[in-house]
A = this chain, B = another copy of it.
Amino acid sequence: MPLSEHADLNTALDFTTAAIGRTMDRLLPRSDDPEARLYEAMRYSVLGGGKRLRAFFVLAGSTLFGIATPAALRVAAAVEFVHAYSLIHDDLPAMDDDDFRRGQPSCHKRFDEATAILAGDALHALAFEVLAHEDTHGDPAVRVQLVAGLAQAIGPHGMVAGQMVDMEAEGKTLSLGEITRLQRLKTGALISFACGAGAVLAKASEPARHALVAYAHDVGLAFQIADDLLDVEGRREETGKTPGKDAAAGKATFVSLLGLERARDQASLLAEQAGRHLDMFGHKAELLKQAARYVVERRA
Binding site for B on A (CB under 8 A): 29, 33-35, 37-39, 42, 89, 92, 94-95, 112-115, 117-118, 120-126, 128-129, 131-133, 140-141, 143-145, 147-148, 150-152, 154-158, 160-165, 167-169, 178, 182, 185
Please indicate the chain B residues that have their CB under 8 angstroms from the CB of A118 in the complex: 89, 160, 163-164, 167
Instruction: Say yes or no: B117 contacts A155, CB within 8 Å.
Output: no
Could you say how many copies of this chain the assembly holds?
2
User: Among the listed B37, B42, B141, which residue makes an inter-chain contact with A168, where contact means beta carbons less than 8 Å apart?
Assistant: B37
Query: Can you name the residue of chain B whose Cβ is closest to the Cβ of A108?
Result: B94
Instruction: Say yes or no: A95 contacts B117, CB within 8 Å.
Output: yes
**How would you classify the secondary structure of chain A's contact residues: helix, strand, loop or mixed?**
helix
Please indicate the chain B residues that have their CB under 8 angstroms from the CB of A128 in the complex: 128, 147, 150-151, 155
Please indicate the chain B residues that have their CB under 8 angstroms from the CB of A145 in the complex: 132, 140
Give the docked Cα–Cα distance between A300 and B167 (Å): 36
Instruction: Give 3 closest A-B pairs by Cβ, nearest first.
Output: A125-B155, A94-B113, A129-B151
Instruction: Say yes or no: A94 contacts B112, CB within 8 Å.
Output: yes
A85 to chain B, nearest CB (A): 8
Please indicate the chain B residues that have their CB under 8 angstroms from the CB of A148 in the complex: 129, 132-133
Please indicate the chain B residues that have their CB under 8 angstroms from the CB of A92 in the complex: 117
